[in-house]
Each structure stands twice: as structure tokens, then as C-alpha cells.
Structure 1
Amino acid sequence: MALIYGNSTNSNIISANANLPVTGENPCNCNTSNDLKNYLLTLQSRRVRITTSSEEFSGILLAVKLDYIVLAENQGSLVLIPISKIRTVAEN
């Protein structure tokens, strides 16, 4: 299990902390951390790609907790990522 910290940008996926609309089936204007958390809740049980400054993760979003998410990676590892450190979110 890993706990990830940091911020990053990746032009290929939607920026979750840059006040830009998140497109897809459930568009979102993620202007605040609550907006981002609510958007993440709509993606629960779906395959997503999450980036931070240090890494990019892909897998199924298992849970959205008070201040972190739980992601099940393809290899079976569980990753805990603080919501405040998520830079980008995209559905896979």
C-alpha cells in the first residue's frame, strides 16, 4: 500500500484542481476540494486514471473517504491517495 503526495499536470487528462470543467459522462466544474470529492463519488466503482506530481495511477476507484481515495490498481495493489494531492482525474 502506498500513500501518495504531490501535485502535477498532464495535458492528456483533465485537470481536477485548475478550475477547468471535467468532461465525460458526468461533467464537473471542480473549483473546490468539495467539488472534486463530489465528482470522485460519481466515479466510484469505475476505472479511472489519477495523477499526482510523483506518479500516475490507473485502476478501479473503490472508495472516496473524508480526505483520501482508495484505488485498486490492475496488479491488485491498494493505493491511498489524499484528495488534496490529486492533480488530474480521467475515466479510463
Structure 2
Amino acid sequence: MALKYGNSANSNIISANANLPVTGENPCNCTTSDDFRNYLLTRQSRKVRITTSSEEFSGILFAVKLDYIVLAENQGSLVLIPISKIRTVAEI
């Protein structure tokens, strides 16, 4: 199993305190980073597509940590994505 870091070279940071554009059937009207983290927790163990400003990832939302998520991609890689970098979340 490989471990990758999503968006490690990207310098564009999306504030987790802003209303993040979250897509899907159940959009998040998140106004704080805690709201968004709680929204992500409701998607844990589900297949999702995560987009950042420069990359797109899909797989099972394996874990939601304090400031990053762990996504298990189809080929077996685990991707760590900082929550502050996430632009959209969609269940697939």
C-alpha cells in the first residue's frame, strides 16, 4: 500500500472558515472549519470524489482527522489531503 500526499506542492490555500463549495445531494452550508469537518465525518466510509484547486481524487473516505482526510484510492494508495485544500466533495 502506497502513501501519497495530495496537493503537497500547491500554494493556493482555501480557507476552511469560508463557505466551501461542496457538491452532491446533501450540500454543506458550512461556515466554520468544524462544520466542514463534521460534514466530512458524515461521508466517512463512503465512495467520494474530492477536488482541490489542482487535483481530483476518488476513493473511499477512510478517515477524517483534525486537519486532513485519508482517502483510500481504488489502486490501494492512501492519500492524505489537508482539509483546508478541499474545494468540493461529492459522493459517487
With structure 2 as the length reference, what TM-score do the two structures score?
A: 0.77
Does the 8 Å CA contact 1:45/1:61 hold for their aligned counterparts? yes
Q: 1:23 to 1:75 in 2, by over 3 A?
A: closer
> Which residue of the partner structure matches residue 11 of structure 1?
none
Equivalent-residue separation in structure 2 for 1:72 and 1:82 (angstroms): 15
> Which residue of the partner structure matches residue 39 of structure 2?
39
Equivalent-residue separation in structure 2 for 1:4 and 1:22 (angstroms): 20
The alignment's C-alpha RMSD in Å is 2.4
Q: Structure 2: where are the runs of 5+ without partners? A: none
3-state secondary structure, aligned to 2:84: helix
Q: Structure 1: where are the runs of 5+ without partners? A: 9-15
Over the matched positions of the two proteins, sequence identity in percent amounts to 76
Equivalent-residue separation in structure 1 for 2:22 and 2:57 (angstroms): 21
> Which residue of the partner structure matches residue 6 of structure 2?
4
> Which residue of the partner structure matches residue 66 of structure 1?
66
Q: Which has the higher strand share?
A: 1
Q: 1:21 to 1:86 in 2, by over 3 A?
A: closer
Does the 8 Å CA contact 2:22/2:89 hold for their aligned counterparts? no
Does the 8 Å CA contact 2:22/2:87 hold for their aligned counterparts? no
Deviation at 1:28, TM superposition (A): 2.4
Equivalent-residue separation in structure 2 for 1:54 and 1:34 (angstroms): 24
Equivalent-residue separation in structure 1 for 2:40 and 2:88 (angstroms): 11
Deviation at 1:2, TM superposition (A): 1.8
Deviation at 1:53, TM superposition (A): 1.5
> Which residue of the partner structure matches residue 87 of structure 2?
87
Q: 1:74 to 1:33 in 2, by over 3 A?
A: same
